[in-house]
Amino acid sequence: MKVKVISRSTDEFTRERSQDLQRVFRNFDPSLRSQEKAVEYVRALNAAKLDKIFARPFIGAMDGHRDSIKCMAKNPNYLKAIFSGSDDGDIRLWDLASRRTVCQFPGHQGAVQGLTVSTDGSILVSCGSDCTVRLWNVPDANLADSDILSDNSAKPVAVYVWKNAFRAVDHQWDGDLFATAGAQVDIWNHNRSQPVNTFDWGADTTISVRFNPGEPNILATSANDRSITLYDLRMSSPARKVIMRTKTNSIAWNPMEPMNFTAANEDCNCYSYDARKLEEAKCVHKDHVSAVMDIDFSPTGREFVTGSYDRTVRIFQYNGGHSREIYHTKRMQRVFCVKYSCDASYVISGSDDTNLRLWKAKASEQLGVVLPRERKKHEYLEAVKNRYKHLPEVKRIVRHRHLPRPVYKAANLRRTMIEAERRKEQRRKAHSAPGSIVTEPVRKRRIIKEVE
């Protein structure tokens, strides 16, 4: 006769130390837990509600400038540093951890229009409306920890005077060249007082320039004639150009997919393009109710942040049509520049009210040290929320945002106008001969033509 007994090794359930957690044995047979989905749904609902309760995105404001902040730059070699330039010619280096000015760079006689830092983080390049390009030595990272902060002012290493005012500047991701935008696009070397190359396509002013992160010799610019132009430094002439219905204020390349870039447009939308196929936008990102002034991609390439004339900062998924997050304060005025921090944890915005503001990239994220068990818990709740995000109640809670009254009213008005236009087009199509009116998709509608 056989007798079955439960045999269990003491090693499986005995703790080595009294501080260790008790080992829990689970049977994952779905038939034993018939309410598992219902339990998970409640957890997803509670996680969505807790996110709302703990959403405190604003960390602090950094004041010190006396005029509108027009441009910012990150130091690729130092996580806590951010440079800002204002309309009164003042350039400052900030320490994000202490939210204090580390160093000032006086010298520009007019508005500072562009800032960029070299690949190794040692040279700061600034340009302005006073027709000068200035090169500065970036102070040592340890300077932020010193007590003497207000008396630190740097002298420019080199000053290059040119014929026209400048509107933007950007440095190669890998190399010694930097590009300035103004009456034309000029390519400079650190050691040359004259541009090594000049590109000109059309008579209008170029207002923004961005180097490609994957291919150092390719750059994109936008101009006042509503064009977006791609240049290749290995060629003597511009490569391609697309003309839109409204002006593009800023451009940002996706660092993880360097063939794609997103353009911040004057018509309240952002347009993502594939540089190899400019006749159609890959995605149209809507939600702003006024001109989008600046845009910057997260280092992960999965999200980007935009700053707008409607006094809000929004965060979009790289392939999402609508914003994931909106940030605003009562005191924040028109946002002219935005940047993601180098670790993708924070967003910095510079606005018309002379302040830089520091925000969390995830509004409800816990700051400080997170224990491994806490991190696993957060990841589990995020996964559960993601699983049930399509259900109405979870979707409603996750999507809901309080908007300032002017933005809310402007969004309603804009929605009404777009709907009226759509209805009008439908009626015109219904009362015309079949095939005589072709509806153009939104991704092509704002593009006039592509020039090669």
Which domains are delineated in the chain? 61-362 (2.130.10.10)
pLDDT range class, residue 150, cuts 50, 70, 90: very low
Q: Decide: 307 and 293 in contact? Cβ < 8 Å.
A: yes
Residues above pLDDT 70, as percent of the chain? 97
CA distance linking residue 139 with residue 122, whole number of Å: 8
The confidence score (pLDDT) of residue 148 equals: 46
Residue 306, pLDDT above cutoff 60: yes
- Is 217 buried (19+), middle (13-18) or exposed (0-12) by CB count in 10 A? middle
Residues 339-368: what's their mean pLDDT?
94
If you average pLDDT over residues 442-446, what whole number do you get? Answer: 90
Alpha carbon distance, N-terminus to C-terminus of the chain: 89
Asked if residue 301 lies in contact with residue 256, where contact means CB atoms within 8 angstroms, the answer is yes
* Chain-centre distance for alpha carbon 399: 20
Average pLDDT over residues 285-293: 95
Q: How many CB atoms lie within 10 A of CB 54?
A: 11
Render pLDDT for 317-345 as a digit per residue (tens, 0 to 9).
999 999 999 999 999 999 999 999 999 99
In the prediction, which pLDDT does 333 show?
93
* Token couple for 124: 């700061």
Q: How many Cβ atoms from other residues are within 10 Å of residue 17's Cβ?
A: 5
**The predicted structure's pLDDT at residue 140:** 78
- Edge to edge, the sheet with strand 112-117 lists 112-117, 123-128, 132-137, 156-161
pTM to 2 decimals?
A: 0.90
Q: What is the mean pLDDT of the chain?
A: 91
Among 178, 174, 152, 151, CA closest to 166: 178
Q: What is the DSSP string of 178-247?
A: EEEESSSEEEEETT-SS-SEEE--SSSPEEEEEE-SS-TTEEEEEETTSEEEEEETTSSS--EEEEESS-
* Strands 260-265 and 218-223, sheet pairing: unpaired
* 150 or 322: which leads in pLDDT: 322
Number of Cβ atoms within 10 Å of the Cβ of 333: 14
Whose CA is closest to 346, among 355, 356, 336, 354?
A: 356
pLDDT at 235 (0 to 100): 84
Could you read off the pLDDT of 233-257 as tens digits, one per residue? 988 777 889 999 999 999 999 999 9
**Contact (CB, 8 A) for 159 and 132:** yes
Plot region of 287 (φ>0 → left; ψ -120 to 50 → alpha; else → beta): left
